[in-house]
Each structure stands twice: as structure tokens, then as C-alpha cells.
Structure 1
Amino acid sequence: MLSILIPVYNYNIFSMVSQIHNQVSDCHITFEIRVYDDGSKQFSVKNNAISNLSNTTYKELPNNIGRSAIRNLLAAEAKYDLLLFIDAGTVPKSDNFIKDYLDHPEYSVVSGGMTYLSKPPKKPFTLRWAYTKKRESSIQKPSHTQPVICSSNFLIQKEIFKRNPFDESLKKYGCEDVLFFDGITKKGIPIKHINNPVIHDAQDDATTFIKKTETAIENLIELIDTKKLPRNRYKVSKLYYKLERIRLDTLISLLFKATRNILKMNFNSSYPSILCYDLYRLGYFCLIKNKK
């Protein structure tokens, strides 16, 4: 028995949910699909059509409660003992996406990974696509490297989730998935990685993606300051503290202020640089830390 849980915010989710519904129906199992809208202002009419699908619930929350809280709410209200989380803004790569997850009943947590559109979008949407391709795609990672862990799609036993919920102190975008999966790993619960990705649709333009990046950096700094994450959990934070020790963090902050708009011009181009994106993240980290 499977509960498929999909949080959504300002996104037309009907096509993806229909695809998921067709797949799980073909598996001939007891299931439900829950789609909870986190206080969106768009696509309400189109998404309401989801309720016409069998065993499917569409709920609109009156206010935005955040990425962590909505996942916890979905899990709390799920009927069944096996939870499959899927993010809006993605689509399963395989026609056997649901079946491939169900083939691993012996594991408490299973992660399918994420990949990118085969054809890059035009500017200013190229940066998000390039980042997914270079940094988030599980398909491109050789087997000897650390698997990519993200909350875009994963299967988990409800009892495990209840004991290890998402941290609701994080109201905004960023780091909530790393904190969640780190907590599970620290308790000795194995995470099975399988090649069953969703495709990220890359619909964030460069300006939106950079705003999300800045929010994620702010979350990361808060999590490190409150000792919920170690300083070396991310490369950007690990590098910052090395620069701080040799007193170069202030210089990087000043250079960032001088080049910030130039970097943003690159991000909005047809050929955005991931190296420039990394420099932006480091510069923003230094800027925020030097304001404290």
C-alpha cells in the first residue's frame, strides 16, 4: 500500500500527476496520491482537476507553511505505511518509475536521483539546467563517488519518517533535504540509491534561481551557527572557514560587491558559467558572514 505525496507551489502539476496515476494504477496495488498546494496564487483551476482522478486528493493550504512543514503535513495525513515523495517541477524519466521503486521493499529509504532535460532551454533559463546537469544529476556520477541525495523523489517507510521529520525551523528554500537525509544517516538507517531519476524541468530563470541560491546560503549559515550542520558539510562553507582563518574573507566580500552585477550578466546569458556560479555562492557567503 503506497501513499504518493507531492507538494506544489505555483506550478501546473496536472500532467505529471496524471502520468504518476497511470503508472501506479498499472501496478495493481492499493494507493493514494496526495497533492498539497502550499498557498499558491497560480494554477488553482487547472490543478483542481487532479481531484477527478481516482484515489487522489488535492488540497490548497490558505497560507504558505514552507518546504519542510508541507512535507511533514503530507506524511502525517497519508493513509499508508509506504511514502513516495515527488517534487512538483519534475517528471519521471522512466515509464516504470513507480514499479522500480516498489522493487526494493527490503530498504527503509530509497532515493531515485535527478537528471536534466536532454535539450538545454534558452536564456535566461540555462543556468538552472546547467547546474542540474553538472551538480545534481545522479546519472552522470561515477559509481565510486558520493551519490547525489535530494528530496526530488524518494521512498521511505512512514514509521521512519515520523521519527525523522523535516526540520520546520527552515521556512525558506535550501538545505532542508541535506539536513533531513543527514539525520537519517546518523541514526544508522541505510539509504538505497537506485537509477530511477526524475527530470528537472529547469523553469526557474536565472534571477529566480540566484534568489533561491542566496536563501539557501542564508539557511546554511544559520544551520552551521546553530550546530545543526558541520562547517565542512558543503564545499562553500568549508572554503569560507579556510579563508577566514587567513583573513581573506573580507577581501572576497569586497570583490563580490564589485563584481556581483557582472556575474549576474553571465548567469542570464546563453552560456552561463558554473565556475562563476560557485564564485557567486562563495562571495555571498562571505558577504553575509561579514555583516554579522
Structure 2
Amino acid sequence: MLSVLIPTYNCNITSLVNKIHKQVSELNVVFEIICIDDCSTNKSISKANQNINNLKNTNYTILDKNVGRSAIRNILAKTAAYSLLLFIDAGTMPKNADFIKNYLKLKNHDVASGGMTCLATPPNKPYKLRWLYTKKREYKTLCSSNFMIKKDVILRHPFDETITSYGYEDVLFFNNLEEHHFKTHFFNNPVVHHADDDASIFINKTDKALNNLIILYNEKKIFPHQVKLLKLYLSLKTLKLNGLIYLIFKIVKPIVLINLNSNNPSILLFDFYRISYLCRH
């Protein structure tokens, strides 16, 4: 009945899988847990994850080559034996003891998402920025880190595998579903993000995601009304203010980065960083 699907890359997922396995085993449902490693470079983590195979109805495999965030989700969907698919990202943990049970109550929905939340206790620098972003910007957005979908729906409308780099593949996926009249039911059943990216890594990922956003916009796959940041950037460009904003950003960038790496990063400064990065295009 239920296939729990976990894509992973350089992340120890044993605690996550054990928790999911415990919850689903306590329910009277047929299930499987499939974990696919996207050719991790950290072999010690991959070795530790092999213990997952000792759990009933659970399988962990490693791909021979890295295929990217979109393709690995499509592979998981095709591999799944059952009609109901629950995707959970590595680096997260269900917040609720009834996480699986809550999803099964919505088994008649084509698509459902429980959202994401942050750790209750904020980490210290340089991990604070990632935690703050989840708390202020990701808590009520659709994301591929935690959603349930019927297998026939995702097979008909898969992730776009032309997107091989990081960023906005989930926005495109959910927008595509909506265009085909599959409305995602959003409810309060979050996973907790571990916030294990330091500020430098997170900013680098942000840069990659914003580059992806521009590519997807140029390819007419994502539109301004779907992404507020993109809409703001294009408005600034129309007013010919993008060059001025990027010039100001280049001057103050060292100060901004000091703040973002601090123990008290400003989410507004991070918003300024993101719009300024777009203004370089």
C-alpha cells in the first residue's frame, strides 16, 4: 500500500529510517522503505547506511553515478511497488509521533505535503543562517522534502530531469502538477530540518539555486507570478535599478557576509543578498 522513498547523498539516514520504520510497523499497513544513494562521495557514511538493509521491508542501494535531485526521485517512483508514495528527504526527521498515520488519513488525496520546520533550539554560528531561513521562509512552502503522491500521478508528471544542478526543481514540479489540475493539500505534519549546512555552504547552494531560477525563467518553465523573488527582480530590471542594486551590493558584500556567518544573521540581509545576486544577471 505505502512506499516510503528516501533519496540521499552524503548523509547518514539510519536514524531517520529507524524512526520511519518504527512508526509504519506499528500500523496495520503493507509497506516498503526504499532508500537510494545518489553515488555519495563519503564512503564511510554509505557503509553506515548499509545497516538499513537489516530492517524488514527496507532496502538501501547506491547508484553507480550521480544523477541529480530530479532524476533520483523519478527512479524512486518507478522502483516503488505500491500506489501511494511518501517522499522524505535525508537530513530531516519527522516531528510528530503520528507522522505516517497522519499521512495515511489523506490517502485519497492525489498530492499532500506536511511542510518543514526548524529545530526547536537554534544552532550556533555558522549554522544559524540555515536554521533561520527554514524558520522564516520555508515553514509554509511546498517542498520535495516531505510529500505524499499517488504513483500514477508522478509517473505521468515526473520531475524535470533536464535540471541536474541544485535549486527550484521542486517549485517546477509542484507548479506542473497544479497546471494539470492536481492541487496539493498542504497540512501541518512537518519534518524537522537538521540545519547541518554552515553559512558558506548554504550561500553557495543559494547561488546555484538562483542561477537555476534564471535558467528556468529563460526556458519559460517558471514564471514571475510563481516566484516572488523572480517577480521583484524583473520589476527592478524594468525600472533599470538592477545595475545600481548590484553595484551597492558589491560594495557592502563583505559586511553582509560577516553578518550572515554570525550568531545573529539577518533574514532581511539574506533577502537583500538573494535579490542582489539575481541583479547581476
Paired residue type of 1:131: Y
Shift, 1:233, TM fit: 2.2
Q: Secondary structure at the match of 2:224?
A: coil
Cα deviation 1:20-42 (Å, max 9, x = unaligned) = 00111111211110101111122
Unaligned runs of 5+ in 1: 139-147
Partner of 2:105: 103
1:126 corresponds to 2:133: no
RMSD after superposition: 0.9
Q: Which runs of 4+ in 1 moved over 4 A?
A: none
Shift, 1:236, TM fit: 1.8
Partner of 1:2: 2
Q: Secondary structure at the match of 1:232?
A: helix
Cα deviation 1:65-107 (Å, max 9, x = unaligned) = 1000000000011111110000000000011110110011221
Alignment of 1:22-41 (within 5 A): 22-41=22-41
**Between Structure 1 and Structure 2, how many residues are aligned?**
279
Q: Secondary structure at the match of 1:24?
A: helix
1:189 corresponds to 2:191: no
Q: Secondary structure at the match of 2:36?
A: strand
One of 160, 165, 177 as aligned partner of 1:167? 160
Partner of 1:141: none
Q: Percent identity among equivalent residues?
A: 52
Partner of 1:89: 91
Cα deviation 1:107-164 (Å, max 9, x = unaligned) = 11111111111100010000000000001113xxxxxxxxx21111111000000011
One of 147, 151, 155 as aligned partner of 1:158? 151
Paired residue type of 1:3: S
Paired residue type of 1:233: Q
Shift, 1:62, TM fit: 2.0
Mapped partners of 1:93, 1:245: distance in 2: 43
Paired residue type of 1:20: I
1:21 corresponds to 2:21: yes
When the two structures are superposed, what TM-score results if normalisation uses the length of structure 1? Answer: 0.94
Mapped partners of 2:111, 2:230: distance in 1: 28
Paired residue type of 1:98: I
Shift, 1:232, TM fit: 3.2
Mapped partners of 2:180, 2:116: distance in 1: 25
Partner of 2:11: 11
When the two structures are superposed, what TM-score results if normalisation uses the length of structure 2? Answer: 0.97
Shift, 1:191, TM fit: 1.4
Partner of 2:221: 228
Unaligned runs of 5+ in 2: none
Cα deviation 1:1-27 (Å, max 9, x = unaligned) = 111000001111001100100111111
One of 232, 237, 242 as aligned partner of 2:230? 237
Shift, 1:165, TM fit: 0.4
Mapped partners of 2:107, 2:190: distance in 1: 18
Q: Secondary structure at the match of 1:34?
A: strand
Q: Secondary structure at the match of 2:29?
A: coil
Shift, 1:230, TM fit: 0.8
Partner of 2:71: 69
Q: Is the 8 A contact 2:84 2:107 kept in 1?
A: no
One of 199, 203, 207 as aligned partner of 2:196? 203
Q: Secondary structure at the match of 1:271?
A: coil
Tell me which moved more, 96-105 or 236-245: 236-245
1:247 corresponds to 2:240: yes
Mapped partners of 1:236, 1:103: distance in 2: 35
Mapped partners of 1:87, 1:11: distance in 2: 10
Cα deviation 1:255-278 (Å, max 9, x = unaligned) = 222222221111110000001100
Cα deviation 1:31-54 (Å, max 9, x = unaligned) = 110101111122011101111111
Cα deviation 1:169-204 (Å, max 9, x = unaligned) = 111111011100011111111211121100011001
Cα deviation 1:209-245 (Å, max 9, x = unaligned) = 0011001100100011010011232222111111111
Paired residue type of 1:263: V
Tell me which moved more, 104-113 or 218-227: 104-113
Q: Secondary structure at the match of 2:85?
A: strand
